[in-house]
Amino acid sequence: MHYLIIAVLAFALSTLGCEGKTGPAGPTGSGGAAGPAGPAGPQGSTGPQGPAGADGADGATGPQGPQGPAGADGKDGAPGADGKDGAPGADGKDGAPGADGADGEQGPAGPAGPAGPAGADGADGADGETGPAGPKGDKGDPGDPADLDTDLIKLSEIALRIKGEKSDLKADDEDGGDKRQITLTKGDTLQLMATPLADNGDTLSVSLEWDSSADDIVKVVDGLLTAMNPGTATISIENSDTGISNSVIVATINAVDGVTLTSTPKGRMGPGEDITLVAEVTDAAGDPIRYAEVTFTTTKKGVVALLNDDDDNVDKLVKETGVDGMVEVKAMSVGSGDATIKAASGTKSASASYTVTGTENPYRIVVLGGYDTEVVIPLTTDDPPLFNTSHTATVVFQVAVYDGNELVDATLTWTSSDNDIINGGDDGVTAEISYGEAAARTATVTIASTVIIEHGEARLTFTVPGAAPWHSDIIRVVAKASE
């Protein structure tokens, strides 16, 4: 019996020892997150059953308890006490690697590492576009006059004029203002002529070079101007051997599309009233055009006269618009009748009409026939040549003074716009107008040779008390070498 109990206990213990406690978790799979823990080992079995009672059926296995005595045919013994823990089972196999965990958020950038070695030079890039031209360099020092030829030594000035015109362009504004003298419409061309001159007015043969300060505004080739874009550019002509030059400022404008003229007052008025006229010039977009040339004319200077900068009565004025596309001129009602003032720019124009009643100036000056507008004065054979003071050139006018339709005697005074060319003196030169029995019924006013003193241009003005002033055309005095 004891052996049986021992055998049963041994069997029970061997059974308990067959399955150990749960083995430790396998190591973390490589590359992924930690794998799940291995399953728990099975619980140790209940301790050995007590010996079966005689002839009794095997009792159900009770909870492990102390071994009960074998009862005869007794009921199942009380459960035996828990058996001791069996020896640890062998380590389980490593679990399969867990799936890769999701990428974590990117951590902050680490500090910059040291710069790597420079890479090999890349291939040359394609050539870039040519940049704008740099500013014009300073003028070089004049050369040694001893190295110059005769014409270069004689060179005094370079005259500029527009092809087809007799008058030269002035090098600058006598009043110290803007030197601009030419206005072109975009796309237009104009030929300038340059003439190298000696002091005596002789034409010389020297090399000349043209230049534009802004080719994108006005381009110049051999004196031919091409208006490219709105703006201004200085066109210059120079002899590089001597540094003698001349220049003119040229403005390019958009095509004129409209001209408006405002007059204050307008319509009917009396004599002696001041009139203010404002012309506005615009392009196709309605924008104002700066530098647009506006020509003002009056149909009857004896009724409504335009006033120049010296407040002289004239029948024509040429002005340029300002930045606002506008230009203002003055006029005055000087006699009775009807007159119209027109403002024209390009192919567009506008006008204002006036009716003047009564008269303030009872007399009027009338110059009959023509008169010389060019006087040629010979030069002496001196070296250098001088103005010949014994010349006999004169300018003669046939003048009549009317009171209504009647000729009247009067004292006429003439003045010159430039006393350095034709000297009329500070107070003018007087001439008595008296009519004899001559059929022409005019008096002669002679501008004597002694007052024609230098080559250039001047305009004469005749005044008579009680009459509006009369202004001549420009008279050009030309110097010419003796043959």
Mean pLDDT of the chain: 77
| Residue 441 in tokens | 């019924």
CA nearest 297: which of 305, 288, 287? Answer: 305
Contact 69, 85 (CB under 8 A): no
| 153 SS3 class | helix
| pLDDT range class, residue 296, cuts 50, 70, 90 | very high
**In which residue are the tokens 């206005």 written?**
183
Tens digit of each residue's pLDDT (9 = 90 or more) over 422-437? 888 888 888 887 776 5
Mean pLDDT to the nearest integer, 242-264 = 92
> Residue 175, Cβ neighbours under 10 Å: how many?
7
Tens digit of each residue's pLDDT (9 = 90 or more) over 172-216? 544 444 455 788 999 999 999 999 998 888 888 888 999 999 999
Length of the chain: 483
With a cut of 70, say whether residue 139 has pLDDT above it.
no
Query: CB under 8 Å to 221, separation ≥6 — which residues?
Result: 210
With a cut of 70, say whether residue 361 has pLDDT above it.
no
Three-state SS sequence of 263-307: EECCEEECCCCEEEEEEEEECCCCCECCCCEEEEEECCCCCEEEE
**pLDDT computed for residue 62 by the predictor:** 59
Tens digit of each residue's pLDDT (9 = 90 or more) over 72-81? 665 665 665 6
Mean pLDDT to the nearest integer, 33-50 = 57
Q: What are the residue ranges spanned by the domains of the chain?
A: 1-15+46-87, 145-253, 258-356, 363-481
Higher pLDDT pick, 255 / 118: 255
**pLDDT computed for residue 10 by the predictor:** 47
With a cut of 70, say whether residue 91 has pLDDT above it.
no
Contact 159, 195 (CB under 8 A): yes
CATH superfamily ID and name for 363-481: Immunoglobulins (2.60.40.10)
d(CA 407, CA 409): 7
| pLDDT range class, residue 20, cuts 50, 70, 90 | very low
With a cut of 90, say whether residue 389 has pLDDT above it.
no
**pLDDT computed for residue 429 by the predictor:** 87
Q: Which of 267-271, 295-299, 331-335, 463-467 has the highest mean pLDDT?
A: 295-299
With a cut of 50, say whether residue 477 has pLDDT above it.
yes
Tens digit of each residue's pLDDT (9 = 90 or more) over 298-333? 999 988 999 998 888 899 999 999 999 999 999 988
Cα torsion at 364, 365, 367, 372 (round to 10°)? -150
Contact 468, 313 (CB under 8 A): yes
d(CA 472, CA 459): 6
Question: What's the alpha-carbon Rg for the chain, to the nearest Å?
Answer: 59
Mean pLDDT to the nearest integer, 136-152 = 63
> Residue 311, Cβ neighbours under 10 Å: how many?
9
Contact 407, 443 (CB under 8 A): no
Amino acid letter, residue 190? L
How far is Cα of residue 395 from the mean position of the Cα atoms in its chain?
51
| Residue 119 in tokens | 């890479």
- Cα distances from 383 to residues 16, 146, 380, 437, in angstroms, run 149, 19, 8, 50
**pLDDT computed for residue 358 by the predictor:** 66
Dihedral-angle region of residue 257 (phi above 0 means left; psi in -120 to 50 means alpha; beta otherwise)? alpha
CATH number of 258-356: 2.60.40.10
477 phi, psi to nearest 5 deg: -100, 120
Which of 221-230, 242-251, 382-391 has the weakest average pLDDT? 382-391
Buried-state track 182-208, b at ≥16 Cβ within 10 A, e below 16: bbbbeeeebebebbbbbebbbebebeb
Could you give the count of Cα atoms lying within 13 Å of 342 in the half-sphere of its Cβ? 9
**pLDDT computed for residue 359 by the predictor:** 57
| 384 SS3 class | coil
**pLDDT computed for residue 392 by the predictor:** 75
Mean pLDDT to the nearest integer, 29-42 = 55
Instruction: Please list the residues that pair with 196 across neighbouring strands.
Output: 158
CATH topology of domain 145-253: Immunoglobulin-like (2.60.40)
**pLDDT computed for residue 117 by the predictor:** 76
Mean pLDDT to the nearest integer, 255-271 = 86
358 phi, psi to nearest 5 deg: 75, -175
Mean pLDDT to the nearest integer, 100-110 = 68
Contact 259, 349 (CB under 8 A): yes
With a cut of 60, say whether residue 440 has pLDDT above it.
no
Higher pLDDT pick, 40 / 429: 429
Which of 24-28, 236-240, 421-425 has the weakest average pLDDT? 24-28
pTM over 0.85: no
> Residue 267, Cβ neighbours under 10 Å: how many?
9
With a cut of 80, say whether residue 129 has pLDDT above it.
no
**pLDDT computed for residue 85 by the predictor:** 66
Higher pLDDT pick, 351 / 199: 351
How far is Cα of residue 260 from the mean position of the Cα atoms in its chain?
27
* Same-fold call for 145-253 versus 258-356: yes
**pLDDT computed for residue 70 by the predictor:** 59
Mean pLDDT to the nearest integer, 41-58 = 59
**In which residue are the tokens 């909870």 written?**
63
Dihedral-angle region of residue 404 (phi above 0 means left; psi in -120 to 50 means alpha; beta otherwise)? left
d(CA 437, CA 365): 20
- Cα distances from 306 to residues 21, 274, 333, 337, in angstroms, run 127, 10, 9, 15
**pLDDT computed for residue 227 by the predictor:** 93
**pLDDT computed for residue 120 by the predictor:** 73
**pLDDT computed for residue 383 by the predictor:** 75
Mean pLDDT to the nearest integer, 137-164 = 74
Contact 44, 16 (CB under 8 A): yes
Percent of the chain residues topping a pLDDT of 90 = 25
d(CA 457, CA 285): 41
User: To which H or E segment does residue 14 belong?
Assistant: helix 2-18
| pLDDT range class, residue 450, cuts 50, 70, 90 | confident
d(CA 92, CA 107): 37
Task: Enter the DSSP assignment of 171.
Answer: S
